[in-house]
Amino acid sequence: MSDACHLGRTAGGRRTGAVLLLSTFTFVASGAALSLSGDAASHRVTQKGRAFAPGAITLRAGESIAIVNDDGELVHHAYLEGPDFSFDTGEQLPGSKTVVTFPKSGQFTILCGIHPKMKLAVSVK
């Protein structure tokens, strides 16, 4: 089975979405361990009603969060862009889960590329 990941952007750099055809795999994106499988996570964050719940979370360096799309019909696209830590889940269909490990301390804001008002504050100690 082959793995494919396509991330699109417009000429202005805005996210246009992503197509993910996956078997189970794990990859590293700018220092973030991003697992698109059933891996266990220290914490769970849901995406429902165009919001992250909880809206803020505190972790220790090395802990993981599972970002789960619990919306019945909405697609989400969680991402974080920082100078030395970033990740991009691509399109998350309802029912999908992505596990992200935060390797170092800092203050981070996860956004949704589809719903710009969605924000998740992550404090890593």
How many domains does one find in the chain?
1
- Asked whether residue 12 is assigned to any structural domain, the reply reads no
H or E element at residue 67: strand 64-69
At 44-94, the pLDDT tens digits run 999 999 999 999 999 999 999 999 999 988 999 999 998 888 999 999 999
Q: How many helices (H) and strands (E) does the chain have?
A: 0, 13
> What CATH number did the domain enclosing 92 receive?
2.60.40.420
- Asked whether residue 116 is assigned to any structural domain, the reply reads yes
Q: What are phi and psi of 36, to 5 degrees?
A: -105, 60
**Angle at alpha carbon of residue 86, lines to 63 and 58, rounded to 5°:** 35
- Asked whether residue 21 is assigned to any structural domain, the reply reads no
At 25-52, the pLDDT tens digits run 333 334 444 444 445 678 999 999 999 9
Can you tell me the distance from the alpha carbon of 36 to that of 66, in angstroms, rounded to the nearest whole number?
A: 10
- Asked whether residue 120 is assigned to any structural domain, the reply reads yes
